[in-house]
Amino acid sequence: MYDVARLAGVSQPTVSRVLSQSEDVSQISKETRRRVLAAVEQLGYRPNAVARSLRTQKTRTIALLLADLSNGFYHPIARAVQKIAREHDYEVLISSSDHLHENEIHFCEIVLSRGIDGVLMAPQRLTMEELSHYVSQTNIPFVALGEHVDHPNIDIVFVDDEKATYETTRWLIEERGHRRIGYFGVPPFLPPGPGRTRGFLRAMEEAGLSVNPNHMQEGDFTLESGKQAARALLATGGNLPTALMVINDLMAIGAILTLQEAGLRVPDDIAVVGFDDIPEATIVRPALTTIAQDAYDIGQKMATALFERIENPDIGERRVYESTYKLIPRQSA
């Protein structure tokens, strides 16, 4: 910057003002501005973002923690966040926890030490104490995905998982006439497991239907775990359910593949319903009936909420945004 200043015949602070203050705020003469910009151009000067960050205490970077980069559900979120961030002239540091506690902790440490300006996260294994611990050490805004995050300083965006699975289970019962319905979920410590499971069980109970414990299997959101769950179901040897609610599309697809391999017809022998509506849902045959989430909308809501707080730090209390879902009947149920 000194070199630019010398070439333009002004002082370093003047160059700084030309480069970092908006035209109307600064009191730089037109002529000076022109000379400075010409010098910048001539030298190919580029401001050093690190130095700028140190002085302003802003990095113009937000961090985004996803649960699984390979799960297509998260891609529109990342895309929406990137887009909005770019509109605000911010960069996004993307990280994938792969559902691991250790990675979520690492993410938080990075956020605190790197001077990130705001955080978007889909936390799964972090306890509320841990979250509080980190949030309390900083003034930057946090926005999380999921109803389970309940902290006074964290805005959330959520989808009513319980209602979604409840309604869909009822749909399976009332519209499709199923009475033996199974459920593939995840262990209760993995959001949004509990909510979805609750919705399923409530619908079954209200309909006066019992659930065979053998028909409830657990996985970890991956395709492979959906296959395993289906294998476990088949291995029980007992009579099979006529329909299966699965906690997400990837597992649902895994289940379909394995069931078909075992000679079962979907949906004739077993109907399968997923959750998310990822691109793969239209690739499997039969195409997957699923509860669609609007991931792009979720990403937009999260990013918008975050930047509102970044631009106006004293917005006040926790805000809650709900994003919609919608049952998409295809061929698998």
Does residue 112 belong to the site contacting a second copy (CB under 8 A)? yes
Which residues make Cβ contacts (< 8 Å) with residue 51, sequence separation at least 6? none
The answer to whether the beta carbons of residues 122 and 106 sit under 8 Å apart is: no
Does residue 10 belong to the site contacting DNA (CB under 7 A)? yes
Q: Interface residues for a second copy in 71-90 (CB under 8 A)?
A: 72, 75, 78-79, 82, 86
The nearest distance, CB 79 to a second copy, in angstroms, is 7
Does residue 116 belong to the site contacting DNA (CB under 7 A)? no
The sign one gets for the Cα dihedral 173, 177, 182, 186 is: negative
What values do phi and psi take at 86, rounded to 5? -65, -35
Does residue 50 belong to the site contacting a second copy (CB under 8 A)? yes
Instruction: Report d(CA 229, CA 234) in Å as an integer.
Output: 9
Instruction: Report d(CA 210, CA 89) in Å as an integer.
Output: 54
Q: Interface residues for a second copy in 215-254 (CB under 8 A)?
A: 223, 253
Instruction: Report d(CA 143, CA 219) in Å as an integer.
Output: 27
Q: Interface residues for DNA in 17-76 (CB under 7 A)?
A: 17, 19-21, 27-29, 31-32, 45-48, 50-52, 54-57
| Binder among 2, 24, 31, 44 for a second copy (CB under 8 A) | 44
The nearest distance, CB 33 to DNA, in angstroms, is 7
Instruction: Report d(CA 218, CA 196) in Å as an integer.
Output: 13
Alpha carbon dihedral 282, 288, 289, 293, in 10-degree steps, equals -60
Which residues make Cβ contacts (< 8 Å) with residue 282, sequence separation at least 6? 288, 330
The nearest distance, CB 43 to DNA, in angstroms, is 11
Q: Interface residues for a second copy in 90-109 (CB under 8 A)?
A: 91, 93-96, 106, 109
Q: Smaller CB distance to DNA: residue 31 or 129? A: 31
Q: Smaller CB distance to DNA: residue 114 or 326? A: 114
Residue 42 interacting partner from DNA, a second copy, none (CB closer than 5 to 8 Å by kind)? none
Q: Which segments within 89-137 are labelled E, that is strand?
A: 91-96, 118-121
Q: Smaller CB distance to a second copy: residue 110 or 327? A: 110
The nearest distance, CB 6 to DNA, in angstroms, is 10
21 membership: H or E segment, kind and range: none
ω into 241 cis (within 30 of 0): no
74-87 and 295-311 helices cross at what angle (nearest 10)?
30
Does residue 11 belong to the site contacting DNA (CB under 7 A)? yes
The nearest distance, CB 285 to a second copy, in angstroms, is 5
Enumerate binding residues for DNA (CB under 7 A): 1, 9-14, 16-17, 19-21, 27-29, 31-32, 45-48, 50-52, 54-57
Enumerate binding residues for a second copy (CB under 8 A): 44, 46-51, 53-54, 59, 69-70, 72, 75, 78-79, 82, 86, 91, 93-96, 106, 109-110, 112-115, 137, 223, 253, 257, 279-280, 282-285
